[in-house]
């Protein structure tokens, strides 16, 4: 079984809809991250969390929110999706040295 899982793997939604992307990990890491990747660009950090009570904004947090429900779960929400949020979204975990990534969620906002 994969150490970092993301659901759904693919999602198509419409402008204005609320959508949640979920991430779970079995690595026992405290640190979790959400990134987005646009074609031809590197990954950009959206939010990160160092433990259940710690949530921090990354470079591009506008239009997104997160919830750290447990050490193993970190969810990303788009409250009102817009087309320029179409991207590949990655969750990652870390124990402090190096990061481990999930397989990604491909999101299309029409």
Partner 1 sequence: KQEVTQIPAALSVPEGENLVLNCSFTDSAIYNLQWFRQDPGKGLTSLLLIQSSQREQTSGRLNASLDKSSGRSTLYIAASQPGDSATYLCAVDGDTGFQKLVFGTGTRLLVSP
C-beta neighbour count of 47 within 10 angstroms:
22
| CA 20 distance to own-chain centroid | 9
Which range, of 12-20, 37-45, 63-71, 73-81, touches partner 1 by CB under 8 A?
A: 37-45
Evaluate whether 5 touches 105 at the Cβ level (below 8 Å).
no
Beta bridge partners of 33: 48, 92
| Beta carbon nearer to partner 1, 7 or 80 | 7
100 binds partner 1 (CB under 8 A): yes
108 binds partner 1 (CB under 8 A): no
| Beta carbon nearer to partner 1, 9 or 18 | 9
Q: What are phi and psi of 108, to 5 degrees?
A: -120, 120
Kindly identify the residues of this chain, within the stretch 38-97, that bind partner 1 according to CB under 8 A.
Answer: 40-45, 48, 50, 58, 90, 92, 94, 96-97
Distance, in Å, from the CA atom of 55 to the CA atom of 22, rounded to the nearest integer, reads 16
Interface residues with partner 1 (CB under 8 A)? 4, 31, 33, 40-45, 48, 50, 58, 90, 92, 94, 96-104
């Amino acid at each position: 079984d994969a150490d970092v899982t993301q659901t759904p793997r693919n999602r198509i939604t419409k402008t204005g809809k609320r959508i949640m992307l979920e991430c779970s990990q079995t690595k026992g890491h405290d640190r979790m991250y959400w990134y987005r990747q646009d074609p031809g660009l590197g990954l950009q950090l959206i939010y990160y969390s160092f433990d259940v009570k710690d949530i921090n904004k990354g470079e591009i947090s506008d239009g997104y929110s997160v919830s750290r429900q447990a050490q193993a779960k970190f969810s990303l929400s788009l409250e009102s999706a817009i087309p320029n949020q179409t991207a590949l979204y990655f969750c990652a975990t870390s124990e402090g040295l190096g990061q481990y990534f999930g397989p990604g969620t491909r999101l299309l906002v029409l």
